[in-house]
A and B are shown apart, each in its own frame.
Chain A
Amino acid sequence: MTPAIQTRTRAIAPGNPFGGGFAGSLALHASLFAVLLSWGVLFHHGENWGDANVNAGAISATMVSQIPLPPKEFTDQNAVLATQTPSPAPPPPAPKSVAVPTPDAIPIPVKPAKPAKVADRTTPPPPLHPQPYKAQPDKAPAGESPAPQMAMSTTQTRTGTFAVGETDATFGVRFGYYNEQIKRKLMSEWYTTLLDKQATGRRVYIAFQVARDGSVSHIQIAQPSGDATLDQVSLNAVRHIDTFGPLPDAYQGSYINVMYYFEAP
């Protein structure tokens, strides 16, 4: 049987349990403060800052009424650069007489007066509705640029007519297989399902450059067909091509200019 453990608890006295200790602490600190003050007063040695004592402080200063100058040094007459009889200084030069120029000596340039610009007619008001499309005539009237004239190799398929030609006509003669390859790749990128009905019969010319490694750049519409869908589908066909294959080894130039037209059936 375990013995019972007796616990004794000391009851906490009512009231402030810390009052006695706090008062004692206050008294102790007050007495310490008083001791220190009295020590300072009683055993004051009298050394203050800024005393009139000459030796009190790190730097001492003496008051004077006049600053002593260093003695005058006389020059030696036998020195090399001094002389007994210095030559007289030359007289100052006579003032030059400056002629005062007349007010008309230099003519002031006068700007020629430009006539004020006057519009010969006012700008016309903008149209209220988009203008209807004017069909382009088959024959080019005088002054208009004609369709690009160059040798092209054409292929007619059920989706339309493709034609490819280069500005350098000898390229097409010499490397016909490369032309065929360009045409074949463009035909495979063609999506006729995206064309409008009114695109039939129209022809769009696209010009681009093929670099040495076959990559395409400088894609432009050389002559638009008038139908936006045909133009865009033709442009996308060229844009989607990564490379046409390296240019023929026997060709010396670094790029070729290609013109490509597509005619919707």
Chain B
Amino acid sequence: MVRSTRISRRAALTARGTSDLFRRLRLRVVVLAISFALIPFAPAQDQLNGGINSGVTTIRIAVADFKPLAADSQSAAFKQTFDATLYADLATSGIFDIVSKSLMPPGTPGAPSDVQLQAYSNAPASAAFVAFGSIGLVGGRLVANGFLFDAKNLQYPQVLAKQYSNDPTDDNARQIAHQFADEIILRLGGGIAGIAETKIYYVKSSGSGINVSKEIWMMDYDGANQHAVTHLGTISISPRVSPDNSRLAFSSLGRNGFQIRMFSLLLGRAVNFPEIGGTNISPAWSPNGNEIAYSSSRTGDPEIWISDAGGNLPRQITHIRGPDSSPTYNPRTGAQIAWISGRTGLPQLYIMNTDGTAIQQMTDGGYVSSPSWSPNGQLIAFAWNRKYGPGAPGGEDIYIMDVASKRWVQLTHDSGGCDFPSWSPDGRHIVYASSPDGKPEHTRIFTMLAGDGSQRRALTGPGADMPNWSWK
């Protein structure tokens, strides 16, 4: 037995055996090389998520139903709206772990003297904070008293005590709930303001076939109060609101092709923006509100141009042959622009300084579109079809890339084609458009947490597209 193995080992070292050995070694080297080549495509989950606060522990908060101040039915209706809105705002904020209604202790405390903090801090509620108060019609005004108590600090529990008073309408009941939720999120969320009072501007299609018209609509961040902003009767796309919420820039199909239009939200009408030749699309505001970057093909090739907010003094930023579009500024510094360029073939993501220098390519494959830079300046969200091409199955999904390290994370999976991501001002949510079956007329607007793509909620019905979250 030993002899035979010794012979076989000798055989391995002979000429015939050596080729066998080399073949095995080559196989191992090839396998090693393949595994090394695959490393860049492994999504880097851990270190990237550390920056999107998914590693932060959530705060357990109990939101009690508010006590009615008056007994009439109108107060009851307002109270119902208020309770539902407050609960929804805090549940979708991304930083709270809301105690479910079934685990709440009985009773509706209305004043600091009524609340039993021990009941809330013990199991099953185990809450760290309690939000409670009272709301009702007092003297013809809708009055709400809101309190936020620290259930762990029995000696000095009060964190917030706020009183709100407004005209008695359902809309105001919702607004008071949004304001109270924003105040709680500001106090407990580490200094980042809440988004309950922000708006989303989007494109709504109506009609079909040759009569399709797309108008710009706006709604609250939770999908309420959807109404039209423009009534142009033509195709209007890519709405972008200014940082101070005073103007809305969008691209509209007019007599001279697609032109950038400016709509004043304060005046309620269009204001002047010069029309120049070519196709002008995808406007983007700089964070100080003084400049607009957009894609214009007035030179024959779509390039990125920057003009001031009135459309004057346009200057060309990119000069390379190949389509350039969808610019977005770095909201933190205002000194960089990320955009999509097809100068090497399929559209890829690039970043550069606002004077056109220091161009950097961020992606190197697939079909990239619609970048959106996060408010803290560290991440870019974009739509990417990594397996683009005839016969290659694969949908478009929302990805997030860290600008400094170029590592990316995929946020949406298997939910149909997703496009047009837009960050919320607190950097915790992303709104995007998605069509579950791929048909453009079934596109809806969804919102999700930016940390891990969880808590997906549809905000609109079908026919809504290209959302843009306001800056504040």
Inter-chain contacts of A245 with B (CB < 8 A): 186-191
CB of B156 within 8 A of CB of A175, answer yes
Q: Does B33 contact A (CB under 8 A)?
A: no
Known contacts A176-B153, A184-B57, A191-B50; is-contact A246 B191 (Cβ 8 Å): yes
Cα(A174)–Cα(B155), bound, Å: 8
Contact mask for chain B residues 191-212; partner A; CB cutoff 8 A; 1 contact, 0 none: 1100000000000000000000
A176 close to B56 (CB less than 8 A): no
In the complex, A185 has a CB within 8 A of chain B: yes
A232 is an interface residue with CB less than 8 A from chain B: no
Give the residue name and chain of the B residue nearest to A248 (CB): B159
- Looking at the assembled complex, report how far the CB atom of A162 sits from the nearest CB atom of chain B, in whole angstroms: 12
CB pair A177 B158 closer than 8 Å: no
Contact of A173 among B56, B128, B155 (CB under 8 A): B155
Q: Given the complex of chains A and B, what is the CA–CA distance between A244 and B191 in angstroms?
A: 6
Query: Is A104 part of the contact surface with B, judged by Cβ < 8 Å?
Result: no
Out of B150, B189, B190, name the residue touching A176 (CB < 8 Å).
B150
Per the bound structure, the CA–CA distance linking A185 and B59 in Å amounts to 12
**Residues of chain A within 8 A of B55, CB atoms compared:** 188
B residues contacting the other copy or chain, number (CB 8 A): 22
A174-B156, A175-B156 known; A181+B188 contact, CB < 8 A: yes
The total of chain A residues at the interface (CB under 8 A) is: 22
**Residue ID in chain B nearest A242 by CB atoms:** B191
Cβ of A52 within 8 Å of any chain B Cβ, yes or no, is: no
Say how far A103's CB is from chain B's closest CB, in angstroms: 79
Main secondary structure of the interface of B (DSSP, over half): loop
Contact of A226 with B by CB under 8 A:
no
Quick one: given A176-B152, A177-B150, are A188 and B191 in contact (CB under 8 Å)?
no
B-chain residues with CB within 8 Å of residue A177 when the two chains form the complex = 129, 150, 152-153, 159, 187-188
Would you list which residues of chain B between 40 and 59 have a CB under 8 Å from chain A? 50, 53, 55-57
**Residue of A with least CB distance to B156:** A174
In the bound assembly, the distance between CA atoms of A24 and B221 in angstroms comes to 102
Chain A residues with CB under 8 Å of B192's CB are 243
Residues of B within 8 A of A181 (CB): 188, 190
Query: Which residues of A lie under 8 Å from residue B191 when comparing CB positions?
Result: 213-214, 242-246
Kindly state whether residue A250 has any CB partner on chain B within 8 Å. yes
User: Chain B residues in contact with chain A, CB under 8 A?
Assistant: 50, 53, 55-57, 128-129, 150, 152-153, 155-156, 158-160, 186-192
Binding site for B on A (CB under 8 A): 173-177, 180-181, 184-185, 187-188, 191, 213-214, 242-246, 248-250
Q: What are 19 A-B interface contacts by the 8 Å CB criterion?
A: A173-B153, A173-B155, A175-B156, A176-B152, A177-B150, A177-B153, A181-B188, A184-B57, A184-B190, A187-B57, A188-B56, A191-B50, A243-B191, A244-B190, A244-B191, A245-B186, A245-B189, A245-B190, A245-B191
Q: What 8 A-B pairs are tightest by C-beta distance, nearest first?
A: A245-B191, A243-B191, A188-B56, A176-B153, A214-B191, A177-B150, A174-B156, A185-B190
